[in-house]
Amino acid sequence: MAAEIRLIPCLSDNYAVLLRDPTTDAVAVVDVPEEGPVLAALDAAGWTPTHILVTHHHTDHIAGVLALKDRFGATVIGPKAERDTIPGLDFAVVDGDPVAVGSLVGRVMETPGHTKGHVVFLFEEERLLFSGDTLFAMGCGRPFECPAPVLWESLLRLRALPDDIVVYCGHEYTLSNARFAASVEPGNAALAARLAEVEALRAAGTPTVPTTIGAEKATNPFLHADDPELAARIGLAGAAPGAVFTQLRELKNSFRG
Protein backbone atom coordinates (compact mmCIF):
# COMPACT_ATOMS: atom_id res chain seq x y z
CA MET A 1 0.00 0.00 0.00
CA ALA A 2 1.19 3.49 -0.84
CA ALA A 3 2.23 5.93 1.86
CA GLU A 4 -0.45 8.39 2.90
CA ILE A 5 0.27 12.12 3.07
CA ARG A 6 -1.46 15.10 4.66
CA LEU A 7 -0.25 18.67 4.02
CA ILE A 8 -0.91 21.01 6.96
CA PRO A 9 -0.82 24.80 6.60
CA CYS A 10 0.67 26.42 9.71
CA LEU A 11 1.46 29.97 10.84
CA SER A 12 1.23 32.44 7.93
CA ASP A 13 2.95 30.43 5.21
CA ASN A 14 4.54 27.30 6.71
CA TYR A 15 3.70 23.67 6.05
CA ALA A 16 3.94 20.60 8.23
CA VAL A 17 3.43 17.20 6.60
CA LEU A 18 2.05 13.93 7.92
CA LEU A 19 3.49 10.71 6.48
CA ARG A 20 1.64 7.49 7.35
CA ASP A 21 2.65 3.90 6.74
CA PRO A 22 -0.66 2.07 6.17
CA THR A 23 0.99 -1.28 6.88
CA THR A 24 1.94 -0.48 10.47
CA ASP A 25 0.00 2.73 11.22
CA ALA A 26 3.28 4.50 12.01
CA VAL A 27 2.96 8.24 11.39
CA ALA A 28 5.69 10.85 11.06
CA VAL A 29 5.19 14.59 11.33
CA VAL A 30 7.75 16.44 9.21
CA ASP A 31 8.52 19.70 11.06
CA VAL A 32 6.10 21.18 13.58
CA PRO A 33 5.74 24.96 13.13
CA GLU A 34 2.91 25.02 15.69
CA GLU A 35 0.96 22.42 17.60
CA GLY A 36 -2.68 23.36 16.93
CA PRO A 37 -3.06 22.71 13.18
CA VAL A 38 -1.05 19.49 13.44
CA LEU A 39 -3.26 18.19 16.25
CA ALA A 40 -6.36 19.09 14.25
CA ALA A 41 -5.08 17.24 11.20
CA LEU A 42 -4.14 14.18 13.25
CA ASP A 43 -7.56 14.16 14.88
CA ALA A 44 -9.35 14.53 11.54
CA ALA A 45 -7.39 11.61 10.10
CA GLY A 46 -7.59 9.47 13.23
CA TRP A 47 -3.80 9.10 13.27
CA THR A 48 -1.31 9.01 16.15
CA PRO A 49 2.21 10.34 15.53
CA THR A 50 5.05 7.95 16.27
CA HIS A 51 7.88 10.05 14.83
CA ILE A 52 8.78 13.70 14.33
CA LEU A 53 11.27 14.42 11.55
CA VAL A 54 13.01 17.79 11.86
CA THR A 55 14.81 19.37 8.90
CA HIS A 56 16.47 22.26 10.76
CA HIS A 57 16.40 24.28 13.95
CA HIS A 58 14.53 27.46 12.96
CA THR A 59 11.66 28.25 15.30
CA ASP A 60 9.03 28.17 12.56
CA HIS A 61 9.86 24.48 12.06
CA ILE A 62 10.26 23.29 15.66
CA ALA A 63 7.98 25.43 17.86
CA GLY A 64 5.48 22.58 18.35
CA VAL A 65 7.94 19.70 18.63
CA LEU A 66 8.09 19.38 22.41
CA ALA A 67 4.33 19.70 22.88
CA LEU A 68 3.71 16.96 20.32
CA LYS A 69 6.39 14.74 21.80
CA ASP A 70 5.04 15.21 25.33
CA ARG A 71 1.49 14.43 24.24
CA PHE A 72 2.19 11.33 22.15
CA GLY A 73 5.67 10.14 23.07
CA ALA A 74 6.79 10.47 19.46
CA THR A 75 10.45 9.89 18.62
CA VAL A 76 12.19 13.06 17.44
CA ILE A 77 14.78 12.70 14.66
CA GLY A 78 16.87 15.58 13.35
CA PRO A 79 20.30 16.72 12.20
CA LYS A 80 23.26 15.90 14.41
CA ALA A 81 24.88 19.23 13.53
CA GLU A 82 21.93 21.02 15.19
CA ARG A 83 21.32 18.68 18.13
CA ASP A 84 21.90 21.45 20.67
CA THR A 85 19.19 23.67 19.17
CA ILE A 86 16.39 21.15 18.52
CA PRO A 87 14.29 20.41 21.61
CA GLY A 88 13.55 16.84 22.55
CA LEU A 89 15.87 15.30 19.96
CA ASP A 90 16.11 11.52 20.41
CA PHE A 91 18.17 10.54 17.37
CA ALA A 92 20.75 12.83 15.76
CA VAL A 93 21.29 11.81 12.14
CA VAL A 94 23.92 12.47 9.49
CA ASP A 95 24.15 12.07 5.74
CA GLY A 96 23.15 8.61 4.57
CA ASP A 97 21.52 7.48 7.79
CA PRO A 98 18.34 5.43 7.35
CA VAL A 99 15.09 6.71 8.83
CA ALA A 100 12.28 4.22 9.32
CA VAL A 101 8.64 5.16 9.76
CA GLY A 102 7.11 1.73 10.19
CA SER A 103 7.93 -0.15 6.98
CA LEU A 104 8.74 3.09 5.12
CA VAL A 105 12.51 3.50 5.06
CA GLY A 106 14.02 6.78 3.93
CA ARG A 107 17.46 8.24 4.19
CA VAL A 108 18.97 11.48 5.35
CA MET A 109 20.64 13.89 2.94
CA GLU A 110 22.67 16.72 4.42
CA THR A 111 21.90 19.95 2.55
CA PRO A 112 23.73 22.78 4.35
CA GLY A 113 23.14 26.34 3.28
CA HIS A 114 19.95 27.70 4.78
CA THR A 115 21.37 26.48 8.08
CA LYS A 116 24.68 24.75 8.67
CA GLY A 117 23.08 21.47 9.62
CA HIS A 118 19.97 21.38 7.42
CA VAL A 119 18.89 17.92 6.30
CA VAL A 120 16.20 16.61 3.98
CA PHE A 121 14.47 13.23 4.11
CA LEU A 122 14.30 11.14 0.94
CA PHE A 123 11.98 8.12 0.73
CA GLU A 124 13.10 6.67 -2.58
CA GLU A 125 10.70 3.75 -2.81
CA GLU A 126 7.76 6.06 -2.12
CA ARG A 127 9.21 8.74 -4.48
CA LEU A 128 8.99 11.37 -1.73
CA LEU A 129 11.34 14.14 -0.64
CA PHE A 130 10.76 16.38 2.37
CA SER A 131 12.98 19.33 1.55
CA GLY A 132 12.38 21.76 4.42
CA ASP A 133 13.79 25.16 3.49
CA THR A 134 16.49 23.95 1.11
CA LEU A 135 14.38 23.62 -2.04
CA PHE A 136 11.07 25.40 -2.60
CA ALA A 137 8.74 25.33 -5.57
CA MET A 138 10.63 27.57 -8.04
CA GLY A 139 12.86 28.83 -5.24
CA CYS A 140 15.25 28.00 -2.42
CA GLY A 141 15.94 29.12 1.11
CA ARG A 142 18.12 32.03 2.05
CA PRO A 143 21.69 30.99 2.94
CA PHE A 144 21.60 32.34 6.49
CA GLU A 145 24.39 30.28 8.04
CA CYS A 146 26.62 29.36 5.09
CA PRO A 147 27.99 31.13 2.02
CA ALA A 148 25.56 30.98 -0.90
CA PRO A 149 27.74 28.59 -2.97
CA VAL A 150 27.36 25.99 -0.19
CA LEU A 151 23.60 26.05 -0.75
CA TRP A 152 24.18 25.77 -4.51
CA GLU A 153 26.12 22.55 -3.96
CA SER A 154 23.28 21.19 -1.83
CA LEU A 155 20.77 22.05 -4.55
CA LEU A 156 22.90 20.21 -7.08
CA ARG A 157 22.47 17.06 -4.98
CA LEU A 158 18.71 17.46 -5.15
CA ARG A 159 18.76 18.32 -8.86
CA ALA A 160 20.45 14.97 -9.48
CA LEU A 161 17.43 13.07 -8.11
CA PRO A 162 14.94 11.45 -10.52
CA ASP A 163 12.30 13.70 -12.07
CA ASP A 164 9.39 11.79 -10.55
CA ILE A 165 10.36 12.45 -6.94
CA VAL A 166 7.52 14.39 -5.30
CA VAL A 167 8.76 17.30 -3.18
CA TYR A 168 7.10 18.63 -0.05
CA CYS A 169 8.76 21.87 1.05
CA GLY A 170 8.36 23.96 4.18
CA HIS A 171 6.68 27.13 2.89
CA GLU A 172 4.05 28.50 0.53
CA TYR A 173 6.35 30.92 -1.29
CA THR A 174 5.51 29.73 -4.77
CA LEU A 175 3.75 32.75 -6.25
CA SER A 176 6.53 35.17 -5.34
CA ASN A 177 9.11 32.62 -6.45
CA ALA A 178 7.37 32.13 -9.79
CA ARG A 179 7.16 35.84 -10.49
CA PHE A 180 10.85 36.25 -9.73
CA ALA A 181 11.72 33.22 -11.86
CA ALA A 182 9.81 34.71 -14.81
CA SER A 183 11.73 37.96 -14.41
CA VAL A 184 15.12 36.26 -14.85
CA GLU A 185 14.03 33.58 -17.35
CA PRO A 186 11.50 35.41 -19.54
CA GLY A 187 11.93 32.97 -22.43
CA ASN A 188 11.11 29.85 -20.40
CA ALA A 189 7.76 28.64 -21.76
CA ALA A 190 7.34 25.97 -19.09
CA LEU A 191 7.85 28.63 -16.43
CA ALA A 192 5.31 30.98 -18.01
CA ALA A 193 2.72 28.19 -18.03
CA ARG A 194 3.48 27.27 -14.45
CA LEU A 195 3.21 30.89 -13.30
CA ALA A 196 -0.30 31.07 -14.73
CA GLU A 197 -1.21 27.84 -12.98
CA VAL A 198 0.19 29.07 -9.67
CA GLU A 199 -1.68 32.37 -9.92
CA ALA A 200 -4.93 30.47 -10.40
CA LEU A 201 -4.23 28.13 -7.50
CA ARG A 202 -3.42 30.94 -5.10
CA ALA A 203 -6.42 32.99 -6.20
CA ALA A 204 -8.51 29.99 -5.19
CA GLY A 205 -6.66 29.60 -1.89
CA THR A 206 -5.24 26.24 -2.98
CA PRO A 207 -1.73 25.11 -1.94
CA THR A 208 0.90 24.89 -4.67
CA VAL A 209 2.79 22.18 -2.77
CA PRO A 210 3.88 19.51 -3.56
CA THR A 211 6.03 19.93 -6.63
CA THR A 212 8.36 17.45 -8.36
CA ILE A 213 12.06 17.37 -9.08
CA GLY A 214 11.22 17.35 -12.79
CA ALA A 215 9.11 20.49 -12.50
CA GLU A 216 11.88 22.21 -10.57
CA LYS A 217 14.52 21.27 -13.11
CA ALA A 218 12.36 22.89 -15.79
CA THR A 219 11.26 26.04 -13.98
CA ASN A 220 13.45 26.84 -10.95
CA PRO A 221 16.17 29.37 -11.81
CA PHE A 222 18.11 28.47 -8.67
CA LEU A 223 18.76 25.08 -10.28
CA HIS A 224 19.99 26.82 -13.45
CA ALA A 225 22.96 28.75 -12.06
CA ASP A 226 25.24 26.79 -14.39
CA ASP A 227 23.25 27.89 -17.47
CA PRO A 228 25.39 30.34 -19.50
CA GLU A 229 22.31 32.12 -20.87
CA LEU A 230 21.00 32.85 -17.40
CA ALA A 231 24.43 34.00 -16.26
CA ALA A 232 24.63 36.43 -19.18
CA ARG A 233 21.11 37.70 -18.54
CA ILE A 234 22.02 38.81 -15.02
CA GLY A 235 25.30 40.35 -16.12
CA LEU A 236 27.65 37.52 -15.13
CA ALA A 237 28.62 35.98 -18.46
CA GLY A 238 31.43 33.48 -17.93
CA ALA A 239 31.15 33.54 -14.13
CA ALA A 240 31.32 30.41 -12.01
CA PRO A 241 27.95 28.87 -11.12
CA GLY A 242 28.47 29.62 -7.45
CA ALA A 243 28.82 33.32 -8.24
CA VAL A 244 25.76 33.24 -10.49
CA PHE A 245 23.76 31.52 -7.76
CA THR A 246 24.90 34.10 -5.20
CA GLN A 247 23.72 36.93 -7.45
CA LEU A 248 20.39 35.20 -8.12
CA ARG A 249 19.81 34.87 -4.40
CA GLU A 250 20.61 38.55 -3.87
CA LEU A 251 18.26 39.53 -6.66
CA LYS A 252 15.48 37.46 -5.12
CA ASN A 253 16.10 39.01 -1.70
CA SER A 254 15.34 42.45 -3.13
CA PHE A 255 12.59 41.36 -5.54
CA ARG A 256 9.18 42.91 -5.04
CA GLY A 257 6.70 41.17 -7.26
Q: Quick one: which of 163, 139, 161, 44 has its CA closest to 18?
A: 44
Active site members: 56, 58, 60-61, 114, 133, 171
Closest CA to 106 of 115, 98, 117: 98
The DSSP code sequence of 169-212 is ESB--HHHHHHHHHHH-TT-HHHHHHHHHHHHHHHTT-----EE
Sequence-ordered list of residues with C-beta below 8 angstroms from that of 140, at least 6 positions apart, any chain: 113, 114, 134, 151, 155, 220, 222, 249
Q: How far, in Å, CA of 245 to CA of 239, rounded?
A: 10
Calpha distance 254→257 (Å, rounded): 10
Let me know: does 108 contact 95? Beta carbons within 8 Å.
yes
Q: Assess whether the previous peptide bond of 143 is cis (omega < 30° from 0).
A: no
